[in-house]
Structure 1
């Protein structure tokens, strides 16, 4: 990791995706098989995957199950969130956290220079990094105390 931690450095590059026409039942199976709570919905444009939206397990529960709709009659595009929030690969960790807070999201697709899908970053990823950084600060405090004891006796 560099001095300026970027979103691209902390994102997960192996992303479980779906297409607009993926059946909702198929999307739920993808989530279960890959142990994820969200799918990034993409369109293939040439050799790139362009992000269109996100489908979460919560979307399925609130928009389909709670509304007593038949999931076998629906596709991903019928339920996915299209009010898209993305992060650039070179966004700083601070910018990413501000975006998550401001937009109220826990998962953000990470895109490259041509808006192609690069990865996904979650609140869990951010918390893991922050915990590591806090651990380094605690170690610095400990070493300062040890140094003082050596010098001062």
Structure 2
């Protein structure tokens, strides 16, 4: 008993990154090639990749594609989000979910003490965990019914 999932335990450690000066076309190719909907934007600081922004496929569409701007004239820093919501490795899953709800974000970089990138948690990751938990509860109901049938025979 007492198992407490942390953000670090559910985070994806292999994160697709971009730098501020990465072209938007290059960023879009990174997303396509890695089958991801966002890039964590980093800058190298003291040998670590420090998180400085997030770029989503939606950012590219709403800022450049929809207004029919020339994709080749822009780079990641022109459209990335800089009002970051991050989590620490030891944050609980419930705290992470509260933060995601409060801030209205679906993707949260996991950072260390100096803001260095350690991983990424997405809403999909959280939903996978919750689905597993719900499945365990459903199993409890089914086991209870089976136990009752065996006792009444």
Answer whether TM exceeds 0.5 for this pair. Answer: yes
Counterpart residue number, 2:10: 10
Structure 2 gaps, min length 5: none
Counterpart residue number, 2:87: 87
Counterpart residue number, 2:73: 73
1:69 Cα shift? 1.5
Counterpart residue number, 2:53: 53
1:145 Cα shift? 1.5
| 1:74-130 C-alpha deviation (Å, 9 max, x unpaired) | 110001000101111111111111111111111111112222101111111100000
What TM-score results when the alignment is normalised by the length of structure 1? 0.96
Counterpart residue number, 2:64: 64
1:52 Cα shift? 0.3
Counterpart secondary structure, 2:105: coil
What TM-score results when the alignment is normalised by the length of structure 2? 0.96
CA distance in 1, matches of 2:83, 2:8: 22
* Residue 143 (1) aligns with residue 143 (2): yes
CA distance in 1, matches of 2:14, 2:43: 17
Counterpart residue number, 2:125: 125
1:65 Cα shift? 1.0
Counterpart residue number, 1:33: 33
> How many aligned residue pairs are there?
152
CA distance in 1, matches of 2:121, 2:12: 6
Counterpart secondary structure, 2:81: coil
1:150 Cα shift? 1.7
CA distance in 2, matches of 1:77, 1:88: 24
Runs of 4 or more above 4 Å deviation: none
RMSD: 1.1
CA distance in 2, matches of 1:143, 1:6: 28
